[in-house]
Amino acid sequence: MNEDILKGQWTQLKGRVREKWGKLTDDDLDQIQGRSEQLVGKIQERYGVARDEARRQLDAWEVAQNRKAPRGGDIGE
């Protein structure tokens, strides 16, 4: 999933992000606005993990989202 897709579908994806990383607040999600580096930073901050680990988690989550996307959907295309 590239940055443009994440930004473009942020409203729809916020709920899924919240399911995965429940410690993120609504304010966090509003600040992130679909920017992957901001999301990595918030995961790092809220969960006390290294930046590399936060990036790995986000990358794995993005792969899972691409698998869940219906055929012809915009996620990951």
- Complete DSSP assignment for 32-60: HTT-HHHHHHHHHHHHT--HHHHHHHHHH
Return all residues near 39 (Cβ < 8 A) that are at least 6 apart.
Answer: 17, 32, 58
Q: Alpha-carbon distance 17 to 13, whole Å?
A: 6
| Distance separating alpha carbons of residues 39 and 28, to the nearest angstrom | 8
Architecture in CATH of 3-67? Orthogonal Bundle (1.10)
Q: Which tens digits make up the pLDDT trace of 37-74?
A: 999 999 999 999 999 999 999 999 999 988 876 544 44
Give pTM, 2 decimals: 0.80
CA–CA distance, 51 with 53 (Å, rounded to integer): 5
Task: Give me 63's structure tokens.
Answer: 């792969």
